[in-house]
Chain A
Amino acid sequence: MEATTAAQTTLTKKEQPRDKRRVLRFMWKYKALYLLSLPGILYFLIFKYIPLMGSVIAFQNYNLFAGFSGSPWVGLEHFTRMFSHYDFLNILKNTLLLGIYDITFAFTAPIILALLLNEVRMVLYKKVVQTVIYAPHFLSWVIVSGIFIGVLSPSSGVANTMLGWFGLGPIYFLGEDSYIRSVLVGSGLWRDVGWGTIIYLAALASINPDLYEAAEMDGAGRWRQMLSITLPALLPVITILFLLKMGDFLDYGFERVFVFQNPLNIRNSEILDTYIYKAGLTQMQYSYATAIGLFKSVVGLFLLAIANTLSKKATGESLY
């Protein structure tokens, strides 16, 4: 689909049709391509753009049976309610902190891992390692949480047994506010780090080997090669992925947090996503939930725009 649209744009630029008739004739000429792009365009319109309009319920008191047209408008009431919630600042703080940790650890780890894997010479070993680290990605969060609760259990968990060898613990990791963020970021890292390396490994495979050969001739060691060839070659991919990640900065994800929550760690683990679920969806407060979701999206868009501008200035790479 994307290839087709790309082809179209280049063609349009080449031919530069000046009047309407020429445009139409041009379109007729390439009707097959236009037709091919139609399902894709319709898909985005119907499933992505039209549902966006549903966000208006954030400004209404939405009633399921009255619909958009029948529900009363309430202006910014739901937003005021959100900002004046006594725990709002704490929830926002948790969300931001988890977002920052996620960028620092979960975003950089796949890059480092991909670089490490790239240096492995034994093909078989490399393949085995790759498969082993991909595998957890296919586990659902419920299962991941089950595994972590077991591993971190103070009475029977491996983690505490190992701490015991050094005379430490037992620590009830999931029962304390202070450990929960590490557990959340750590479980995410374990589950998705292997998956995250795929794109980087693909990018690494596309680097021209002549560059390394030439560098070797000039006497560059492996470290130097990595700094001067591998990293710069990866930079465009890293930038794009980083920008996409910024757009989801506040979307840490509902399920992955919810499955680890309990009243003993809730003070540090309640984030916007889980709050939306508890305050909005389970209580049928659709408008309120939408208002919080909308707030999240706007912040995400804002961050994305900033990061994009900065990256355009700094590296020349950007999403748009």
Chain B
Amino acid sequence: MPKQAMRMLMLILVLAIVAGCSGNNQPSPGTGTAEGSGETPQVQGPTKFSISMRTLNVAYVEKHPDINKDPYVQALEEMTNTDLDIRLIPHNEYQDKMVQMFATNDIPDVVQGSGGISGPELAGAVENGVFLPLNDLLEEHGKDLLAFIPEEAWARMTDSKTGNIYGIPEILSNPSRRATWIRTDLLEQVGKDIPTTVEETLEVLRAFKEAGVEQPFAGRQNFKYADTFFGAYDVLGYLNQFKLFPDGQVKPNFFDVDNMKAAIGIYKTMHDEGLISREFATIESTDFRSIVTSGKAGMWSMNANELPIWGAQLMENVPDARVALIPSPTGPDGGGGYAHYNPVTRSFYINKKAEDKAAEIVQFFNWMVSDEAELFFSYGLEGEDYTMVNGEPSFEVPTDTAGTDKMRYLNYWLWLVQDTTYNKMVSSLTETGQQMIDAFDNMLAHEGRKGIEFDPRLEALIRYPDLNPKSDEMPPLILEHVLRMVYGREEIDNYEAVLDEYLSKGGKEIIEEATARYNNQENAFE
């Protein structure tokens, strides 16, 4: 190789290495902070801070080339005198990315969590002192937040040992979020009334079957969104479904043997008679949705706030279809419904390193519960999305995909602190929206199952993953046996043996810990 050429090559290589290495230094998180704090307080330029947010499957956000340049984000910045640096965290990799963020110590000024202060996505950051206690700041700058957010939501943000509040919660005032849906046109066709008890429901399902409905009750993998009858018998067995038994012990509610056997029996009957798909154990969420919206199902369970969307899709495919939310079937105790949701949907934590601008950040969140914020996040920008007529905003609810995507983004994603049950201003404008509000306020508010919940979760549950339930799934060990019983591979009468197995494989420790924590009122929520 000629010498000249070789020197050139070496030069290029060296340059490449230098460029490659220095590239990593550029997005240094410290620079933004330094600039913001360097200014004197009198100038009061916009407060600059970074915030990490999960994309939550919101199409508008996920498709956006640069969310920080979005007109709505910029309008928000103008209204709150801030300069946001939103760092998106992909919905499906949320936990991994959050843990990476903490592990590499590249933590933004504000971190969005989901649920309580000990959620797995926070990786123990609160215990390890990454975030600022907010008690004094809230007293001084967050009065509206303190007034708006109920005590039970603050309790989830509080370390019960020190009394420190670590996060600002977004709330769900009506934790009964899932509902029982039924095709009222089919109900009319078979000449039945709306069923109220489990027995009546089975009769309706049988009538649906006779009338040729393919899946009278839409089943789904692991009884997700198909747990109606476990709810009726109050044996859901999820994370927030611990119960104080007469023997003084706090146990998961599937220890209620008689009710559990009865509930499994109902599913077995439905399976044997073909009232539920015989392959429901492999039906995933997308299949479930298409089964429902293509009109193959007669009755199912879904989040009530999906009524406008699922209802419209169903009627597009089956023009005669009519759908309604009905009270969930009741069991022997007269109750029914689905597991309650956590009263906190999203939560926001302030990094200790951002202490110098924490006051402004709290003010920013405080603004979220103002009337100005409600109008902006419900309808959008004046002149562009809505007009003022005689001092009243006039808004038309969009029906196309782009429009609904934008509404979801504004109503749900960008509005950081609100009551997420439903958007009152938008929903009250349409008929299905009003139906949904009515269902939430007058029906769902009175149903649903809630037991004792521990947050942070029980240590023993972490040690025994097979016994660890999810927020809407039974522990794997129990689920496995229950499914085998429904599919006729095991006798329902063997259920006591399943509980013995549960106890011998670590369940004893779970119950001991649960009972002790319940008795000491140590972060146990009822």
Contacts and interface: CB of A to CB of B under 8 A. Distances in A.
B103 interface: yes
Nearest to B479: A263
Interface in B267-288: 277-279, 281-282
A283 B465 contact: yes
A53 interface: no
B480 A266 contact: yes
Given A39-B17, A284-B99, A263 B125 contact: no
Interface of A: 31-32, 35-36, 38-39, 63-66, 86-87, 149, 153-155, 172, 174-175, 262-264, 266-267, 278-279, 282-285
Interface residues of B, number: 35
- Contact residues of A: prevailing secondary structure: loop
Nearest to A36: B13
B289 interface: no
Contacts of B124: 63-65, 284
Given A32-B10, A264-B484, A172 B278 contact: yes
B1 interface: yes
Contacts of B480: 263-264, 266-267
Contacts of B128: 63-66
Nearest to B478: A263
Interface of B: 1, 6, 9-10, 13, 17, 95, 99, 102-103, 120, 123-125, 128, 130, 221-222, 277-279, 281-282, 462, 465-466, 468, 476, 479-480, 483-484, 487, 489, 505
B405 to A, nearest CB: 24
A199 B99 CA distance: 39
Contact of A175 (B103, B487, B505): B487
B9 to A, nearest CB: 7
Contacts of B99: 64, 284
Contacts of A279: 465
B465 A263 contact: no
Given A175-B487, A284-B123, A262 B281 contact: yes
A310 B442 CA distance: 75
Contact of A153 (B6, B279, B465): B279
B281 A64 contact: no
Contact of B9 (A32, A39, A263): A32
Given A39-B13, A174-B279, A284-B462, 6 more contacts: A39-B17, A149-B282, A154-B279, A263-B281, A283-B462, A283-B468
A64 B100 CA distance: 9
B22 to A, nearest CB: 16
Given A35-B10, A39-B17, A279-B465, A264 B1 contact: no
Contacts of A172: 278-279, 281
B505 A86 contact: yes
A266 B476 contact: yes
Nearest to A262: B281
Contacts of A264: 281, 480, 483-484, 487, 489
A238 to B, nearest CB: 37
B487 A65 contact: no
Task: Report which residue of B10, B128, B282, B505 has the largest number of chain A beta carbons within 10 angstroms of its beta carbon.
Answer: B282
Contacts of A174: 279, 281-282
A285 B462 contact: yes
A65 B131 CA distance: 13
A153 B278 CA distance: 10
Nearest to A283: B462
Contacts of A153: 279, 282
A-B CB proximity, top 4 nearest:
A65-B128, A263-B480, A279-B465, A263-B483
A87 B467 CA distance: 13
Contacts of B465: 278-279, 282-283
Contact of A35 (B13, B95, B120, B468): B13
Contacts of B130: 65
22 contacts: A32-B1, A32-B10, A35-B10, A35-B13, A36-B13, A39-B13, A64-B128, A149-B282, A153-B282, A155-B278, A172-B279, A262-B221, A262-B282, A263-B476, A264-B480, A264-B487, A264-B489, A279-B465, A282-B95, A283-B120, A283-B462, A285-B462
Given A32-B9, A35-B10, A262-B222, A284 B277 contact: no
A172 B484 CA distance: 13
B7 to A, nearest CB: 9
Nearest to B20: A39
A149 B277 CA distance: 14
Contacts of B483: 262-264
A224 B451 CA distance: 74
B494 to A, nearest CB: 16
Contacts of B505: 86
A220 B278 CA distance: 57
A210 to B, nearest CB: 37
Nearest to B221: A262
Contacts of A278: 465, 476
B278 A263 contact: no
Nearest to B105: A65
Contacts of A35: 10, 13
A90 B1 CA distance: 61
A264 B221 CA distance: 10
Nearest to A154: B279
Contacts of A282: 95, 120, 465
A86 to B, nearest CB: 6
A175 B488 CA distance: 12
A78 B9 CA distance: 50
A154 B274 CA distance: 13
Task: Report which residue of B124, B465, B480, B505 has the largest number of chain A beta carbons within 10 angstroms of its beta carbon.
Answer: B465
A38 B9 CA distance: 13
A200 to B, nearest CB: 35
A148 to B, nearest CB: 10
B281 A175 contact: yes
A284 B282 contact: no
Contacts of B123: 64, 284
A154 B479 contact: no
Contacts of B125: 65
A46 to B, nearest CB: 11
B102 A65 contact: yes
